[in-house]
Protein backbone atom coordinates (compact mmCIF):
# COMPACT_ATOMS: atom_id res chain seq x y z
CA UNK A 1 0.00 0.00 0.00
CA UNK A 2 1.24 3.51 -0.74
CA UNK A 3 1.66 5.93 2.15
CA UNK A 4 -1.31 7.93 0.87
CA UNK A 5 -3.42 4.81 0.85
CA UNK A 6 -2.41 3.92 4.42
CA UNK A 7 -3.39 7.37 5.64
CA UNK A 8 -6.75 7.11 3.88
CA UNK A 9 -7.48 3.67 5.36
CA UNK A 10 -6.62 4.79 8.87
CA UNK A 11 -8.88 7.78 8.51
CA UNK A 12 -11.61 5.51 7.32
CA UNK A 13 -11.23 3.25 10.36
CA UNK A 14 -11.12 6.20 12.77
CA UNK A 15 -14.24 7.54 11.15
CA UNK A 16 -15.90 4.16 11.48
CA UNK A 17 -15.08 4.19 15.18
CA UNK A 18 -16.44 7.67 15.84
CA UNK A 19 -19.48 7.61 13.53
CA UNK A 20 -20.23 3.88 13.34
CA UNK A 21 -21.01 4.08 9.68
CA UNK A 22 -19.27 2.90 6.58
CA UNK A 23 -20.34 2.94 2.93
CA UNK A 24 -20.47 -0.11 0.70
CA UNK A 25 -17.46 1.26 -1.19
CA UNK A 26 -15.45 1.76 1.97
CA UNK A 27 -16.17 -1.74 3.29
CA UNK A 28 -15.07 -3.15 -0.07
CA UNK A 29 -11.92 -1.08 0.08
CA UNK A 30 -11.09 -2.28 3.59
CA UNK A 31 -11.63 -5.94 2.69
CA UNK A 32 -9.62 -5.76 -0.51
CA UNK A 33 -6.74 -3.75 0.97
CA UNK A 34 -6.21 -6.18 3.83
CA UNK A 35 -2.54 -6.37 4.74
CA UNK A 36 -0.67 -6.97 7.99
CA UNK A 37 -0.40 -3.32 9.05
CA UNK A 38 -4.00 -2.53 8.27
CA UNK A 39 -5.15 -5.61 10.18
CA UNK A 40 -3.05 -4.69 13.21
CA UNK A 41 -4.48 -1.19 13.11
CA UNK A 42 -8.16 -2.10 12.78
CA UNK A 43 -7.86 -4.90 15.38
CA UNK A 44 -6.36 -2.38 17.80
CA UNK A 45 -9.05 0.24 17.20
CA UNK A 46 -11.79 -2.39 17.50
CA UNK A 47 -10.29 -3.73 20.72
CA UNK A 48 -10.09 -0.24 22.17
CA UNK A 49 -13.77 0.23 21.38
CA UNK A 50 -14.54 -3.09 23.07
CA UNK A 51 -12.45 -2.17 26.14
CA UNK A 52 -14.21 1.19 26.36
CA UNK A 53 -17.58 -0.57 26.42
CA UNK A 54 -16.85 -3.84 28.28
CA UNK A 55 -13.48 -3.32 29.98
CA UNK A 56 -11.20 -6.34 30.22
CA UNK A 57 -14.13 -8.69 30.59
CA UNK A 58 -14.89 -11.71 28.42
CA UNK A 59 -18.19 -13.56 28.80
CA UNK A 60 -18.31 -17.35 28.83
CA UNK A 61 -21.23 -19.44 27.56
CA UNK A 62 -21.39 -23.16 28.18
CA UNK A 63 -22.15 -24.95 24.92
CA UNK A 64 -24.23 -28.11 25.05
CA UNK A 65 -24.49 -29.98 21.75
CA UNK A 66 -27.85 -31.70 22.20
CA UNK A 67 -28.10 -33.73 19.03
CA UNK A 68 -26.25 -34.36 15.81
CA UNK A 69 -29.33 -35.58 13.98
CA UNK A 70 -30.27 -33.08 11.31
CA UNK A 71 -32.98 -32.96 8.68
CA UNK A 72 -30.96 -30.51 6.60
CA UNK A 73 -28.28 -31.16 4.08
CA UNK A 74 -26.10 -28.04 4.06
CA UNK A 75 -23.11 -28.73 1.80
CA UNK A 76 -20.56 -27.38 4.31
CA UNK A 77 -21.71 -29.13 7.45
CA UNK A 78 -20.39 -32.44 8.75
CA UNK A 79 -23.68 -33.42 10.41
CA UNK A 80 -25.76 -32.97 7.23
CA UNK A 81 -28.37 -35.67 6.83
CA UNK A 82 -26.65 -37.42 3.94
CA UNK A 83 -23.41 -37.95 5.82
CA UNK A 84 -23.71 -41.65 6.59
CA UNK A 85 -20.34 -41.70 8.35
CA UNK A 86 -21.70 -39.83 11.37
CA UNK A 87 -22.71 -41.86 14.36
CA UNK A 88 -25.82 -40.07 15.49
CA UNK A 89 -26.62 -39.24 19.12
CA UNK A 90 -29.19 -37.31 21.07
CA UNK A 91 -28.85 -36.33 24.74
CA UNK A 92 -31.59 -37.19 27.20
CA UNK A 93 -33.18 -34.50 29.36
CA UNK A 94 -31.24 -35.83 32.35
CA UNK A 95 -27.96 -35.66 30.45
CA UNK A 96 -28.68 -32.07 29.44
CA UNK A 97 -29.39 -31.13 33.05
CA UNK A 98 -26.18 -32.81 34.09
CA UNK A 99 -24.26 -30.68 31.58
CA UNK A 100 -25.84 -27.56 33.08
CA UNK A 101 -24.77 -28.61 36.58
CA UNK A 102 -21.24 -29.15 35.33
CA UNK A 103 -21.31 -25.70 33.72
CA UNK A 104 -22.66 -24.14 36.87
CA UNK A 105 -19.87 -25.70 38.92
CA UNK A 106 -17.41 -24.03 36.56
CA UNK A 107 -19.11 -20.71 37.18
CA UNK A 108 -20.92 -20.41 33.85
CA UNK A 109 -24.08 -18.30 33.82
CA UNK A 110 -25.30 -19.04 30.31
CA UNK A 111 -26.17 -22.39 28.79
CA UNK A 112 -26.33 -22.62 25.01
CA UNK A 113 -28.47 -25.51 23.80
CA UNK A 114 -27.30 -26.15 20.26
CA UNK A 115 -28.06 -28.90 17.82
CA UNK A 116 -28.98 -30.04 14.35
CA UNK A 117 -32.59 -29.70 13.26
CA UNK A 118 -33.67 -32.95 14.85
CA UNK A 119 -37.39 -33.69 14.39
CA UNK A 120 -37.34 -35.91 17.46
CA UNK A 121 -36.46 -32.96 19.69
CA UNK A 122 -40.06 -31.88 19.86
CA UNK A 123 -41.22 -28.53 21.13
CA UNK A 124 -42.69 -30.22 24.16
CA UNK A 125 -39.42 -31.93 24.98
CA UNK A 126 -37.47 -28.70 24.60
CA UNK A 127 -39.96 -26.72 26.62
CA UNK A 128 -39.80 -29.33 29.32
CA UNK A 129 -36.01 -29.25 29.44
CA UNK A 130 -36.02 -25.47 29.45
CA UNK A 131 -38.43 -25.36 32.38
CA UNK A 132 -36.29 -27.84 34.30
CA UNK A 133 -33.16 -25.78 33.67
CA UNK A 134 -34.87 -22.56 34.67
CA UNK A 135 -36.27 -24.16 37.80
CA UNK A 136 -32.86 -25.39 38.92
CA UNK A 137 -30.97 -22.33 37.68
CA UNK A 138 -33.39 -19.39 37.81
CA UNK A 139 -30.63 -16.81 37.49
CA UNK A 140 -28.91 -18.34 34.48
CA UNK A 141 -29.53 -17.38 30.88
CA UNK A 142 -30.56 -20.01 28.35
CA UNK A 143 -29.73 -19.62 24.68
CA UNK A 144 -31.28 -21.82 22.03
CA UNK A 145 -29.46 -22.56 18.80
CA UNK A 146 -31.66 -25.14 17.17
CA UNK A 147 -32.27 -23.80 13.70
CA UNK A 148 -35.33 -22.71 11.81
CA UNK A 149 -38.65 -23.18 13.56
CA UNK A 150 -42.16 -21.74 13.27
CA UNK A 151 -42.98 -18.45 14.88
CA UNK A 152 -45.26 -20.33 17.27
CA UNK A 153 -42.39 -22.52 18.43
CA UNK A 154 -40.08 -19.54 18.92
CA UNK A 155 -42.85 -17.82 20.85
CA UNK A 156 -43.48 -20.87 23.01
CA UNK A 157 -39.81 -21.16 24.02
CA UNK A 158 -39.60 -17.46 24.74
CA UNK A 159 -42.69 -17.66 26.94
CA UNK A 160 -41.09 -20.60 28.76
CA UNK A 161 -38.03 -18.51 29.56
CA UNK A 162 -35.53 -18.84 26.70
CA UNK A 163 -33.52 -15.63 26.69
CA UNK A 164 -31.52 -15.75 23.50
CA UNK A 165 -31.47 -17.46 20.11
CA UNK A 166 -28.52 -18.00 17.80
CA UNK A 167 -29.25 -18.49 14.12
CA UNK A 168 -26.46 -17.56 11.78
CA UNK A 169 -27.84 -16.16 8.54
CA UNK A 170 -24.86 -17.93 6.81
CA UNK A 171 -24.88 -15.48 3.88
CA UNK A 172 -26.96 -12.43 3.05
CA UNK A 173 -26.79 -13.06 -0.71
CA UNK A 174 -29.50 -15.27 -2.18
CA UNK A 175 -27.31 -16.70 -4.97
CA UNK A 176 -24.55 -17.56 -2.51
CA UNK A 177 -27.08 -19.12 -0.14
CA UNK A 178 -28.06 -21.42 -2.99
CA UNK A 179 -24.45 -22.43 -3.50
CA UNK A 180 -24.20 -23.49 0.14
CA UNK A 181 -27.57 -25.20 0.54
CA UNK A 182 -29.70 -27.65 -1.44
CA UNK A 183 -32.95 -26.54 -3.06
CA UNK A 184 -35.15 -27.66 -0.21
CA UNK A 185 -33.74 -24.89 2.00
CA UNK A 186 -35.01 -21.36 1.76
CA UNK A 187 -33.01 -18.16 2.03
CA UNK A 188 -36.18 -16.16 2.66
CA UNK A 189 -37.22 -18.41 5.50
CA UNK A 190 -33.85 -18.12 7.20
CA UNK A 191 -33.84 -14.33 7.06
CA UNK A 192 -37.47 -14.26 8.12
CA UNK A 193 -36.69 -16.40 11.17
CA UNK A 194 -34.15 -13.82 12.31
CA UNK A 195 -36.72 -11.03 12.03
CA UNK A 196 -39.24 -13.10 13.96
CA UNK A 197 -36.78 -13.88 16.73
CA UNK A 198 -35.94 -10.22 17.16
CA UNK A 199 -39.58 -9.20 17.05
CA UNK A 200 -40.49 -11.75 19.74
CA UNK A 201 -37.89 -10.23 22.03
CA UNK A 202 -35.02 -12.69 22.00
CA UNK A 203 -31.48 -11.43 22.19
CA UNK A 204 -30.78 -12.66 18.71
CA UNK A 205 -27.55 -13.82 17.11
CA UNK A 206 -26.75 -13.77 13.40
CA UNK A 207 -23.46 -14.51 11.67
CA UNK A 208 -21.63 -16.24 8.90
CA UNK A 209 -18.53 -18.16 7.93
CA UNK A 210 -15.65 -16.43 6.23
CA UNK A 211 -14.27 -18.20 3.18
CA UNK A 212 -17.18 -20.52 2.57
CA UNK A 213 -17.04 -21.93 -0.96
CA UNK A 214 -18.16 -19.48 -3.61
CA UNK A 215 -18.04 -16.52 -1.23
CA UNK A 216 -16.89 -13.27 -2.87
CA UNK A 217 -15.83 -9.97 -1.31
CA UNK A 218 -19.21 -8.59 -2.41
CA UNK A 219 -20.94 -11.35 -0.43
CA UNK A 220 -19.06 -10.38 2.74
CA UNK A 221 -19.92 -6.73 2.13
CA UNK A 222 -23.59 -7.76 1.92
CA UNK A 223 -23.21 -9.70 5.17
CA UNK A 224 -21.78 -6.67 6.93
CA UNK A 225 -24.50 -4.38 5.59
CA UNK A 226 -27.15 -6.94 6.54
CA UNK A 227 -25.83 -7.17 10.10
CA UNK A 228 -25.59 -3.40 10.37
CA UNK A 229 -29.24 -3.11 9.39
CA UNK A 230 -30.59 -6.05 11.43
CA UNK A 231 -28.56 -4.97 14.44
CA UNK A 232 -28.54 -8.36 16.17
CA UNK A 233 -27.45 -8.49 19.80
CA UNK A 234 -24.93 -11.23 19.01
CA UNK A 235 -22.79 -11.91 15.97
CA UNK A 236 -20.85 -15.14 15.40
CA UNK A 237 -18.15 -15.10 12.76
CA UNK A 238 -15.70 -17.90 12.08
CA UNK A 239 -13.66 -19.24 9.20
CA UNK A 240 -15.07 -22.02 7.02
CA UNK A 241 -13.25 -25.32 7.65
CA UNK A 242 -13.76 -28.28 5.32
CA UNK A 243 -15.18 -31.54 6.68
CA UNK A 244 -13.96 -34.64 4.87
CA UNK A 245 -17.35 -36.31 4.36
CA UNK A 246 -19.13 -33.33 2.81
CA UNK A 247 -19.36 -32.10 -0.80
CA UNK A 248 -16.94 -29.31 0.24
CA UNK A 249 -14.28 -31.76 1.50
CA UNK A 250 -11.62 -30.44 -0.87
CA UNK A 251 -12.35 -26.74 -0.54
CA UNK A 252 -9.77 -24.56 1.21
CA UNK A 253 -10.38 -23.23 4.71
CA UNK A 254 -11.25 -19.55 5.18
CA UNK A 255 -8.62 -16.94 5.99
CA UNK A 256 -7.96 -16.13 9.63
CA UNK A 257 -6.86 -12.61 8.79
CA UNK A 258 -9.99 -11.87 6.83
CA UNK A 259 -12.09 -13.32 9.66
CA UNK A 260 -10.33 -11.02 12.17
CA UNK A 261 -10.82 -8.04 9.87
CA UNK A 262 -14.57 -8.71 9.60
CA UNK A 263 -14.87 -9.19 13.38
CA UNK A 264 -13.27 -5.76 13.87
CA UNK A 265 -15.52 -4.05 11.32
CA UNK A 266 -18.64 -5.53 12.93
CA UNK A 267 -17.40 -4.56 16.39
CA UNK A 268 -16.97 -0.95 15.29
CA UNK A 269 -20.43 -0.90 13.72
CA UNK A 270 -22.08 -2.56 16.75
CA UNK A 271 -20.15 -1.51 19.87
CA UNK A 272 -22.64 -3.20 22.23
CA UNK A 273 -22.71 -6.55 20.48
CA UNK A 274 -21.71 -9.83 22.10
CA UNK A 275 -19.34 -11.52 19.71
CA UNK A 276 -17.71 -14.91 20.25
CA UNK A 277 -14.12 -15.69 19.50
CA UNK A 278 -15.12 -18.90 17.77
CA UNK A 279 -13.90 -22.45 18.13
CA UNK A 280 -13.38 -22.47 14.35
CA UNK A 281 -10.80 -19.69 14.78
CA UNK A 282 -9.09 -21.64 17.54
CA UNK A 283 -9.14 -24.77 15.40
CA UNK A 284 -7.19 -23.10 12.60
CA UNK A 285 -4.77 -21.22 14.81
CA UNK A 286 -3.14 -22.05 18.11
CA UNK A 287 -3.79 -18.52 19.33
CA UNK A 288 -7.17 -18.26 17.65
CA UNK A 289 -9.16 -17.47 20.80
CA UNK A 290 -6.76 -14.72 21.81
CA UNK A 291 -6.58 -13.26 18.35
CA UNK A 292 -10.37 -13.11 18.13
CA UNK A 293 -10.58 -11.28 21.44
CA UNK A 294 -7.82 -8.89 20.43
CA UNK A 295 -9.80 -8.14 17.26
CA UNK A 296 -12.90 -7.15 19.26
CA UNK A 297 -14.66 -10.38 20.24
CA UNK A 298 -15.85 -10.59 23.86
CA UNK A 299 -17.38 -14.03 24.29
CA UNK A 300 -16.02 -17.57 24.48
CA UNK A 301 -18.06 -20.75 24.39
CA UNK A 302 -16.46 -23.61 26.33
CA UNK A 303 -17.94 -26.95 25.44
CA UNK A 304 -20.00 -28.81 28.07
CA UNK A 305 -21.00 -31.72 25.83
CA UNK A 306 -20.13 -35.04 27.52
CA UNK A 307 -16.84 -36.52 26.37
CA UNK A 308 -18.40 -39.58 24.74
CA UNK A 309 -20.42 -37.46 22.28
CA UNK A 310 -17.93 -34.68 21.52
CA UNK A 311 -16.21 -36.20 18.50
CA UNK A 312 -19.57 -37.03 16.96
CA UNK A 313 -20.54 -33.38 16.67
CA UNK A 314 -17.99 -32.93 13.91
CA UNK A 315 -19.40 -30.08 11.85
CA UNK A 316 -15.85 -29.56 10.48
CA UNK A 317 -12.52 -31.41 10.67
CA UNK A 318 -10.15 -31.25 13.68
CA UNK A 319 -12.63 -29.34 15.80
CA UNK A 320 -10.63 -28.08 18.74
CA UNK A 321 -10.75 -29.74 22.13
CA UNK A 322 -12.60 -32.82 21.00
CA UNK A 323 -10.62 -35.06 23.26
CA UNK A 324 -10.17 -33.00 26.39
CA UNK A 325 -12.26 -33.19 29.50
CA UNK A 326 -14.62 -30.29 30.09
CA UNK A 327 -12.66 -28.95 33.09
CA UNK A 328 -9.35 -29.20 31.32
CA UNK A 329 -10.55 -27.33 28.26
CA UNK A 330 -12.11 -24.66 30.42
CA UNK A 331 -8.93 -24.18 32.44
CA UNK A 332 -6.88 -23.85 29.29
CA UNK A 333 -9.29 -21.32 27.87
CA UNK A 334 -9.17 -19.31 31.10
CA UNK A 335 -5.40 -19.28 30.98
CA UNK A 336 -5.35 -18.13 27.39
CA UNK A 337 -7.62 -15.24 28.26
CA UNK A 338 -5.60 -14.30 31.33
CA UNK A 339 -2.41 -14.37 29.28
CA UNK A 340 -3.63 -11.42 27.21
CA UNK A 341 -4.80 -9.40 30.21
CA UNK A 342 -8.48 -10.31 30.20
CA UNK A 343 -10.69 -12.21 32.63
CA UNK A 344 -13.87 -14.22 32.48
CA UNK A 345 -16.93 -12.48 33.83
CA UNK A 346 -19.08 -14.14 36.46
CA UNK A 347 -22.24 -12.45 35.24
CA UNK A 348 -24.79 -13.49 32.60
CA UNK A 349 -23.53 -11.00 30.08
CA UNK A 350 -26.85 -9.89 28.66
CA UNK A 351 -27.05 -7.38 25.85
CA UNK A 352 -27.48 -3.74 26.79
CA UNK A 353 -28.02 -1.08 24.22
CA UNK A 354 -25.96 2.01 24.99
CA UNK A 355 -25.10 3.37 21.55
CA UNK A 356 -28.21 3.36 19.42
CA UNK A 357 -31.52 5.07 19.89
CA UNK A 358 -34.16 2.54 19.01
N1 LIG B 1 -16.80 -24.75 8.95
C2 LIG B 1 -17.01 -23.71 9.77
N3 LIG B 1 -18.20 -23.46 10.35
C4 LIG B 1 -19.21 -24.31 10.08
N5 LIG B 1 -20.49 -24.31 10.49
C6 LIG B 1 -21.10 -25.38 9.96
N7 LIG B 1 -20.24 -26.08 9.21
C8 LIG B 1 -19.05 -25.43 9.26
C9 LIG B 1 -17.79 -25.63 8.67
N10 LIG B 1 -17.56 -26.66 7.86
C11 LIG B 1 -21.06 -23.22 11.27
C12 LIG B 1 -22.32 -22.68 10.59
C13 LIG B 1 -23.38 -22.96 11.62
C14 LIG B 1 -22.60 -23.04 12.92
C15 LIG B 1 -23.27 -23.78 14.02
O16 LIG B 1 -21.41 -23.67 12.55
O17 LIG B 1 -22.19 -21.27 10.37
O18 LIG B 1 -24.38 -21.97 11.68
CATH number of the domain where residue 157 is located: 3.20.20.70
Find the 213 Cα to ligand 1 centroid distance in Å.
12
Cβ burial 128-163 (10 Å sphere, 16+ → b, else e): ebbeebbeebeebbbbbbbbbbeeebbebbbebebb
Q: Which range of residues forms the domain containing residue 62?
A: 54-253+298-345
Find the 240 Cα to ligand 1 centroid distance in Å.
7
| DSSP secondary structure letter of residue 224 | H
Reduce the DSSP state of residue 66 to 3 states and report it.
Answer: strand
pTM more than 0.95? yes
Residue whose CA lies nearest to ligand 1 atom number 14: 168
Q: Tell me the per-residue pLDDT of 225-280, one tens digit each, with 9 for 90 and over.
A: 999 999 999 999 999 999 999 999 999 999 999 999 999 999 999 999 999 999 99
| Half-sphere exposure at residue 262, Cβ-oriented, CA atoms within 13 angstroms | 32
| Half-sphere exposure at residue 215, Cβ-oriented, CA atoms within 13 angstroms | 28
The number of beta carbons lying within 10 Å of the beta carbon of residue 209 is: 25
**268 inside domain:** no
**Quick one: pLDDT at residue 322?**
67
Find the 10 Cα to ligand 1 centroid distance in Å.
32
Please report the sign of the dihedral spanned by the C-alpha atoms of residue 112, residue 114, residue 120, residue 122.
positive
**282 inside domain:** no
**8 inside domain:** no
Please tell me the distance from the alpha carbon of residue 149 to that of residue 20, in angstroms, as a whole number.
33
Count of domains for the chain:
1
Contact 336, 289 (CB under 8 A): yes
Q: Which of 209, 213, 288, 303 should be mutated for ligand 1, with most atoms under 8 A from CB?
A: 209
**276 inside domain:** no
**264 inside domain:** no
**302 inside domain:** yes
**350 inside domain:** no
**143 inside domain:** yes
Q: What is the mean pLDDT of residues 211-223?
A: 98
Find the 315 Cα to ligand 1 centroid distance in Å.
6
Q: Tell me the per-residue pLDDT of 120-171, one tens digit each, with 9 for 90 and over.
A: 999 999 999 999 999 999 999 999 999 999 999 999 999 999 999 999 999 9
Residue whose CA lies nearest to ligand 1 atom number 2: 240
Amino acid sequence: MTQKCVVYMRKLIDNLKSKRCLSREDITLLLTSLDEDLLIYINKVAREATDARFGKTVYARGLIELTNYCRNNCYYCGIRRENKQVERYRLTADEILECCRQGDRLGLKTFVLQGGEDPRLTDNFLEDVLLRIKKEFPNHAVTFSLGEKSRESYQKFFAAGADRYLLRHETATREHYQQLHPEDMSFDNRINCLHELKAIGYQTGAGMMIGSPGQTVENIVEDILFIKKLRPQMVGIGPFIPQHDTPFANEPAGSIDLTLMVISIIRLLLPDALMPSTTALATLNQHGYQRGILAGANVVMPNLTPQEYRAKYAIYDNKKAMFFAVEQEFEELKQQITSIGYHLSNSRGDYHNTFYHV
